[in-house]
Amino acid sequence: QVQLVESGGGLVQAGTSLRLSCAASGRTSSTNVMGWFRQAPGKEREFVAAISGSGSSKYYANSVKGRFTISRDNGKNTVYLQMNSLQPEDTAVYFCSAGPYLKVGAEEYNSWGQGTQVTVSS
């Protein structure tokens, strides 16, 4: 199974940007779909973005479409989430995940990172 470690979270002001990274190790494969989810206090975990193994297909939640960009570098076994125009509503723990299909349900993914905190202040 793939092991995932997120990094790049922090405290930022509204309107600024952050780039999250997720480093994969163990039994890595370029065929894995990689996804980003987030969970705010008292809220359910929600889908943010996902990318196919080749990087040719991407899918975004409507709440982040046009602001966030998911990408991957298979040579570095790393997936990124570029977050622009951050708003307080984006505050959450962000989790990196891996799974066999490009889906929006958390139950479809079978490997998870520990999460990285993103806090956006107004």
pLDDT at 84: 98
pLDDT at 26: 85
Please compute, for residue 58, the number of CA atoms within 13 A of its CA located in the half-sphere on the CB side: 19
Over the chain (122 residues), the average pLDDT of each successive run of 10 is 94 98 84 93 96 95 98 93 98 96 91 97 95
Q: Exposed, middle or buried, 83 (CB in 10 Å: 0-12/13-18/19+)?
A: buried
Please compute, for residue 117, the number of CA atoms within 13 A of its CA located in the half-sphere on the CB side: 5
The residues pairing with 36 across neighbouring beta strands, listed in sequence order, are 49, 96
Residue 8 CB contacts under 8 Å (≥ 6 apart), including other chains:
18, 19, 20, 21, 116
